[in-house]
Chains A and B, each alone.
Chain A
């Protein structure tokens, strides 16, 4: 819809590829990802940055794309779930979630997986308490977290051993 609102041209790296977009100042990152780039793996739930479903990595750190202005990613690197792995070539985090059955409805899963990616980048072998603390911003209503914790502990121990 033409609204007469001025637009901004932004350029950023999305899943390893340099992209550009014209956005309105009010547009949120989640909408630009889901609508302009048709990356529907990023999920919208609470809309206010408390549930973590919309988590993406910006310069390697988790961020809530529902509460972030799209224009703010200009010049930065954004990783969404689509950039992490494919059903044929899963990332180790995705493999661990599958192996442990650490998901049910799957709506929190993309954000959860990316938050784990962010955690392991900061701390390759977190303790269980560190895992629980870091991921408390990613809600899951299906699993009770038990198998998610198992999966991440497994990853952390592997990193530690490796």
Chain B
């Protein structure tokens, strides 16, 4: 159809592009609320300490300082919050548990004054024994961070954590299928290997920022939150204010990658506004954002049994994750990490165990594919190591053990819904075509992950008299292009040109509940909610048209600007005129997604599988140990491409983010202090480090659960990069690295060790 083609061709140009290239886009950090004060935060300089006294008198005496918040101000409210465990105070109460923990907050007329006032605050600490390493934190006699485990159930994620009271273990996840011990005992070979993955900082380029306006019985926030409704829920419980009186607005957000998911600084800024009795803006520096959250580091131990023919017989996974001082969503990260270590393989006997552990470090948090990169790093490295030991080609070894479409990664999970073997072969063919005769050291890795998608969300669509359309949803535009996707979904479903569809910034006062923006879920869950809301409008329009002009509703079809029936076109305005007597009004459609959607099919987890294949070629400077990823092919079955440039961009961005933890990134602790928590010392990939050739293969099988058969995407691309590079290094140079990041020093040492052993 001509008009559909016309609409489709325009969907590439996202409305936000124009605002963003001209600097007109208003980000969370650009929000100015009349009368607002500026807040700065005094942070703990010690990893673990009792607070003996805080003297704020000198700060309060400074001209321009309006309020200083400390733990003492929390009397009378529920001072602790969390997502799995109510373990975190709004601001430190009597004790600090990591360097960087907020101890006091100042609200003043400007940032200079607030900053200066921080220096005037005196805090007396009494140091306590501290622990920054997860294994040490599990050892007998380790300092205990939280004496109580105040658990929440079905609060943010479904279920509850299995914390071990009296220890630092706040999640202990276990799963077993088959007879693992018997399989190990009878196997031809059993391989046991350990791998480590560092703490990684999200580095969303816009730091965390919130403007809060706390009134007697209401709170309004302009926040960088990826999960506005989670912010609402936590604030409601802390301050005992009804959900309906808490408004969270989320303007454009300058990147998140999970670092702004669940809840971060909103409770603190709300409490500071409450104390100051004025709106307060707190915009962290990037250094402070580095002290706010980071990816959980991990120690992954894998034990894998194989037959003589190279058949996977059993696998035992043990993941120990450093969860930092507060649990946040760490319990979910630990579960996902264990599951994501399985891979897209047939493994008849499977044992999974993962633990997340409190330490005196920056709280761990969700980060693009929670637990995934840690798990895939280990599993896909070991797959190559086993193949090498068995003298089997690593690709052949993978293919021989790979699940076909419909196979079970785990019997209790939805069957794998993509054709992984074909995807791997396609990616290899693409790399062969790219590389030609100029092939370099090459590595391969694959991944299959179960996104933690809670299928709960809604949308309201309003078709106005002039046939313009307003789509109301709480999906946060964080760079992924979700508003562009929702526009194109509505344009298609209502047969209106995309130019007339608007998606305003999320506002919990007007948009329906949505669980949150993350886990590759928005295009699927909210895309379907918008489709459903549009179907609701179409039904109303056709029924009204049939009623007014005669005939069956089915005889009327929505078209550009109106509805076409047996006697031609009637505009939306004419339709509303006939209905209302004046030529104004609107049609309102509501869409809701719940686990009961699609006849209950959405209740089964995961809603879809997010898969990835990476094939890469590297160049190594053997004198310095410096590694470059030169060529990279990234493949994923996304079901259907809703916006090609946005989808490719997500994949490219994920892969280069993965290049960061592969080669450069690690938050380093020494003596309880994060010693490289600034962008001078912490290096993320720069433009000259991106691969020279990057090819994204988006497979469109058309059978995902989302609009037009789409499945979620945007996270998978980060998964294969590290094992691709490590496998290429091992295959070409015999140098096997088990600890990320693969810094020049580690690579140089591994190359020298390989040479000494008389390797390749």
Contacts and interface: CB of A to CB of B under 8 A. Distances in A.
Given A101-B17, A136-B686, A141 B22 contact: no
B480 interface: yes
Given A1-B64, A105-B479, A51 B654 contact: no
Interface in B12-34: 12-14, 16-27, 29-30
A44 B205 CA distance: 8
Interface stretch (A6-14, A70-78, A79-87): A79-87
A138 interface: yes
A158 to B, nearest CB: 17
B34 to A, nearest CB: 14
A17 interface: no
Contact of A104 (B12, B113, B649): B649
Contact of B652 (A132, A137, A144): A144
A40 B206 contact: no
A108 interface: yes
A42 interface: yes
Most chain B C-beta atoms within 10 Å of own C-beta, residue among A3, A98, A101, A138: A101
A98 B13 contact: yes
Interface string A21-53: 000001000000000000111111111101101
A137 to B, nearest CB: 8
Interface in A110-156: 110, 113, 128-129, 131-133, 135-149
A133 to B, nearest CB: 6
B22 A144 contact: no
A98 B479 contact: no
B205 A53 contact: yes
Interface string B634-657: 000000000001101110111111
Contacts of B515: none
* Residue of A133, A141, A143 most packed against chain B (CB within 10 A): A141
Given A45-B206, A48-B680, A135-B687, A97 B17 contact: yes
A39 B23 contact: yes
A16 interface: no
A109 interface: yes
Given A42-B23, A50-B679, A100 B645 contact: yes
A43 B205 contact: yes
Contact of B21 (A97, A132, A141): A97
A50 B254 CA distance: 17
A47 B285 contact: yes
A58 interface: no
A139 B657 CA distance: 12
A108 B652 contact: no
Nearest to A106: B20
Interface centre among B17, B23, B285 (most CB of A within 10 A): B23
A65 interface: no
A144 B286 contact: no
A34 to B, nearest CB: 8
Contacts of A140: 205, 687
Nearest to A131: B687
B581 interface: no
B3 to A, nearest CB: 23
A143 B22 contact: no
Contacts of A105: 204-206, 252-255, 478-479
Contacts of B648: 101, 146-147
Interface residues of A, number: 59
Contacts of A84: 22
Given A43-B206, A108-B205, A146 B694 contact: yes
Given A50-B680, A105-B205, A1 B112 contact: yes
A48 B681 CA distance: 11
B63 interface: yes
B321 to A, nearest CB: 23
A155 B108 CA distance: 46
A87 B19 contact: yes
B694 A106 contact: no
Nearest to B204: A141
A104 B650 CA distance: 8
A48 B290 CA distance: 14
A141 B257 contact: yes
A41 B287 CA distance: 22
Interface in B171-210: 202-207
Contacts of B685: 144-145
A152 B585 CA distance: 47
Residue from A43, A82, A86, A140 whose CB has the most chain B CB atoms within 10 Å: A140
Given A43-B205, A97-B17, A104-B480, A86 B286 contact: no
A145 B205 contact: no
Contacts of A110: 21, 23
Interface in B645-699: 645-646, 648-650, 652-657, 678-680, 684-690, 692, 694
B109 A142 contact: no
B21 A103 contact: yes
Contacts of A42: 23
A19 interface: no
B23 A147 contact: no
A46 B17 CA distance: 23
Nearest to B108: A1
Contacts of B26: 40
B497 interface: no
Nearest to A24: B112
B687 A145 contact: yes
Nearest to B285: A47
A82 B22 contact: yes
A46 B679 CA distance: 6
A141 B286 contact: no
B24 to A, nearest CB: 7
Given A105-B255, A146-B690, A46 B23 contact: no
B703 interface: no
B434 interface: no
Interface in B274-292: 285-287
Nearest to B678: A48
A109 B206 CA distance: 12
A141 B687 contact: no
Contacts of B692: 128
B204 A147 contact: no
Contact of B687 (A3, A101, A149): A149
Interface of A: 1-3, 26, 39-48, 50-51, 53, 80-82, 84-87, 90, 94, 97-98, 100-101, 103-110, 113, 128-129, 131-133, 135-149
9 contacts: A80-B23, A84-B22, A101-B14, A101-B17, A106-B27, A106-B254, A107-B205, A139-B203, A141-B657
Interface of B: 12-14, 16-27, 29-30, 63-64, 108-110, 112-113, 202-207, 252-255, 257, 285-287, 478-481, 645-646, 648-650, 652-657, 678-680, 684-690, 692, 694
Given A45-B207, A107-B205, A135-B687, 12 more contacts: A2-B63, A41-B22, A85-B22, A87-B24, A101-B649, A103-B17, A106-B21, A106-B254, A140-B687, A144-B654, A144-B685, A144-B694
